[in-house]
């Protein structure tokens, strides 16, 4: 497995990276990034006593940016620190130890007939021209209990403890965001959560591990994409690397300490019938430092049909998106099949 993981490749290639990691000229961050300009995406204080202001800010950011940061989100800093610590510890294990700890996905991912992204690996989707991202990852579900399969979790008890604790807290943030996003569409506060599966809404966590890269100007960690889920709640580490596409250009996104980064995903754009926009983003890598991030994706159950919310569709505002099973949407997205 050593050379199948990007971590293993990074240990071997100290000056030049293998050809399959070198992006085309129109993707290379060294060429396509607006250097010296940093996007200050909206920062929203969830403890603002003026709840109308919170609602207004979330709606505005979701319509114009598809991305925002939240502070005073009430997840204790020690819960986040512990989540980061156990994630780092897993990725710092020798490769053969990692293989013993957790399910390793096959190198050639076959998405036919399966929705499961869970497990440890490198490849996630059909790569254009066989190119690869400079990242290893671990996926597993953390909520609801009926969806959790510990086969995909590292066996270390402290890993499980930290993730189960984080799962309790992150649901509080998810519920609040879905409430405000519902109210922002002029529908009852529970409507979006209900349309995404209610208590069966799945919280899928991912750890992205981007090792130092000797040629960061030509590689990408994760290629340009929109998230296919409803909303993403992301914990970054202190190494910047997130980029967003705005007005036809790529910009570095500056994130602030102790904030959570929120992305609007495809299912939220669909449910809102286009009023909220999923954000096109990518990640660049660092020459000297390891970068990590901990996104949690709020997903409908696999067999749930998702389409524009019925209360948002009428003669004057017809449905702009097809209604389809979430598993079908995921299959098309990962295999680059038009929706």
227 is catalytic: yes
Of the listed 98, 140, 193, 206, which one is catalytic? 206
206 is catalytic: yes
Between the two ends of the chain, the Cα-to-Cα distance in Å is: 34
111 is catalytic: no
Instruction: Round to whole Å and give the CA distance between 260 and 71.
Output: 7
Of the listed 179, 281, 309, 333, which one is catalytic? 281
Query: Structure tokens of 208?
Result: 């992205």
Of the listed 131, 176, 225, 311, which one is catalytic? 225
Instruction: Round to whole Å and give the CA distance between 25 and 75.
Output: 41
DSSP 8-state code for residue 267: H
Cβ(54)–Cβ(48) below 8 Å = yes
Instruction: Round to whole Å and give the CA distance between 166 and 84.
Output: 10
Of the listed 227, 252, 266, 309, which one is catalytic? 227
324 is catalytic: no
Instruction: Round to whole Å and give the CA distance between 333 and 313.
Output: 25
Q: Which residues of 25-44 are buried (b: 16+ CB within 10 A; e: fewer)?
A: eebbbeebbeeeeebebbeb
| DSSP string across 28-83 | -HHHHEEEEEEE---EEETT-S-HHHHHHHHHHHHHHTSEEEEE-----HHHHHHH
Catalytic residue set? 206, 225, 227, 281
């Amino acid at each position: 497995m050593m050379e199948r993981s990007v971590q293993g490749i990074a240990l071997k290639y100290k000056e030049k990276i293998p050809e399959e990691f070198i992006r085309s000229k129109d993707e290379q961050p060294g060429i396509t990034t607006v250097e010296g300009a940093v996007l200050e995406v909206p920062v929203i204080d969830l403890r603002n006593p003026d709840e109308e202001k919170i609602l207004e800010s979330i709606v505005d950011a979701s319509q114009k940016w598809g991305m925002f940061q939240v502070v005073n989100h009430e997840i204790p800093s020690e819960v986040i620190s512990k989540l980061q610590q156990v994630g780092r510890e897993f990725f710092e294990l020798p490769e053969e130890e990692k293989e013993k700890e957790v399910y390793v996905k096959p190198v050639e991912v076959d998405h036919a007939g399966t929705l499961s992204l869970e497990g440890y690996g490198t490849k996630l989707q059909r790569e254009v021209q066989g190119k690869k991202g400079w990242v290893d990852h671990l996926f597993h579900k953390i909520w609801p209990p009926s969806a959790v399969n510990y086969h995909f979790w590292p066996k270390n008890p402290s890993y499980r403890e930290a993730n189960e604790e984080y799962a309790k807290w992150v649901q509080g943030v998810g519920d609040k965001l879905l409430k405000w996003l519902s109210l922002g569409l002029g529908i009852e506060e529970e409507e979006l959560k209900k349309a995404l599966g209610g208590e069966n809404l799945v919280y899928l966590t991912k750890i992205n591990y981007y090792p130092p890269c000797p040629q960061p100007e030509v590689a990408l960690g994760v290629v340009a994409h929109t998230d296919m889920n409803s909303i993403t709640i992301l914990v970054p580490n202190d190494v910047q690397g997130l980029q967003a596409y705005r007005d036809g250009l790529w910009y570095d996104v500056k994130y602030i300490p102790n904030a959570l980064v929120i992305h609007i995903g495809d299912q939220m754009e669909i449910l809102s019938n286009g009023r909220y926009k999923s954000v096109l983003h990518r990640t660049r890598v660092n020459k000297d430092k390891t970068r990590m991030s901990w996104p949690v994706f709020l997903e409908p159950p696999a067999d749930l049909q998702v389409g524009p919310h019925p209360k948002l569709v009428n003669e004057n505002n017809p449905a702009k998106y097809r209604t389809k099973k979430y598993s079908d949407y995921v299959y098309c997205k990962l295999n680059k099949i038009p929706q």
